[in-house]
Amino acid sequence: MAFVAHLIPEKLRLILYSMVESDYLPLISLALREDLGDLGDVTSQAVVPDEQGAAALWSKDTGILAGEAVFSAVFRQIDPQTTVSFSMHDGAALRKGDRVAGVRGKTASLLAGERTALNFISFLSGIATATHSLAALARDSGHAVILDTRKTLPGWRALSKYAVTVGGGKNHRQGLYDMILIKDNHVDAAGSIAAAVRRVRDRWGTRFTVEVECRNDAEVEDALDAGADIIMLDNMDPDRMREEVRHIAGRAKVEASGTMNANTVPAASAAGVDYISVGALTHSVRSFDFSLKID
């Protein structure tokens, strides 16, 4: 697995320290509150001396690192005097046995934050690793870009979508507020795809990108006639996708959606679509395996 750090320029890495900070700091507070309760780490309070210590974060897996800032912020919330130094950074390819970071501070503070910090960085690195794998499959068979979806754990959206970017994917809409996506319920409410798109243009003009979910040839034709920017091919097999891409002929971008995974992404990309959206990236990936060992 090659390094993908070149995908993460410094200004993008800073997203996790600034723009998303308002999202992940409250999430860290919630996680620590549910783990420490009112009494804190009662085991360490009884067993561990009140002295300084050090720990190392080790990779026990192979994949892509994501979430260094969140990992560090966990320990800062417990004790601002704790320091975390990463020797590898978001976007780096990890192998089993890599020393990823060092943590220094009161030993009791290190133990109090251990599980919460690992939960964050393990889940985010799992997302980045899965995204990187699918992006490589899509790139090897076509030109499709892997997209995430809104199928995220509540409260985790900003972090999860950041991890997708670290892994080499791109973000679809962040929420219901930054893009138009006309689906079957919208079409039913408006009466037709044409009517739905017309109402969007009447209300918002060209402010938002307009995507239309299509399940058959007729809907694709209606979306094209209505001037959709992106046409989502929902649950179509690769042969059907290829025919639709040929028919659309560049008049709109094309997205493949529906049960996309390592088995289906290569054929979808080979069919010529521009995007492949994968909900599993942010709701059911395998967590990356790390350990934090006290020196």
CATH number at residue 92: 3.90.1170.20
Exposure pattern of 122-140 as b/e (b: 16+ CB <10 Å)? bbbbbbbbbbbbbbbbbee
* Same domain flag for 80 and 176: no
* Domain assignment present for 272: yes
Structural domain that includes position 235: 137-283
* Domain assignment present for 132: no
* Same domain flag for 290 and 275: no
* Domain assignment present for 202: yes
* Same domain flag for 210 and 221: yes
Number of other residues whose CB lies within 10 A of the CB of residue 227: 14
- pTM (whole model) above 0.85: yes
In a structure prediction context, what are the per-residue pLDDT tens digits for the chain, which is 295 residues long? 333 443 444 555 555 555 567 778 999 999 999 999 999 999 999 999 889 999 999 999 999 999 999 999 999 999 999 999 999 999 999 999 999 999 999 999 999 999 999 999 999 999 999 999 999 999 999 999 999 999 999 999 999 999 999 999 999 999 999 999 999 999 999 999 999 999 999 999 999 999 999 999 999 999 999 999 999 999 999 999 999 999 999 999 999 999 999 999 999 999 999 999 999 999 999 999 999 999 8
* Same domain flag for 150 and 121: no
* Same domain flag for 223 and 159: yes
* Same domain flag for 38 and 169: no
Per the structure, how many domains does the chain have? 2
* Domain assignment present for 88: yes
Enumerate the active-site residues.
115, 151, 183, 213, 234
* Domain assignment present for 200: yes
* Same domain flag for 166 and 246: yes
* Same domain flag for 183 and 96: no
* Domain assignment present for 150: yes
Residue 217: closest CA among 183, 243, 181: 243
Q: Is 175 helix (H, G, I), strand (E, B) or coil?
A: coil
* Same domain flag for 121 and 192: no
Q: Are 101 and 127 in contact (CB under 8 A)?
A: no
Tokens of 262: 């390592």
Q: Are 223 and 184 in contact (CB under 8 A)?
A: no
**Beta strands 230-234; 210-214: pairing state:** parallel
d(CA 229, CA 92): 34
pLDDT of residue 6: 38
* Same domain flag for 88 and 152: no
* Domain assignment present for 174: yes
The amino acid at 150: R
Residue 247 belongs to a domain with what CATH number?
Answer: 3.20.20.70
pLDDT of residue 46: 94
* Same domain flag for 31 and 78: yes
Q: How far is CA 64 from CA 98, 143, 230, 259, 290, in A?
A: 12, 22, 30, 23, 12
Contacts of 288 (CB under 8 A, 6+ apart): 59, 61, 63, 94, 121, 122, 123, 125, 126, 129
* Same domain flag for 274 and 143: yes
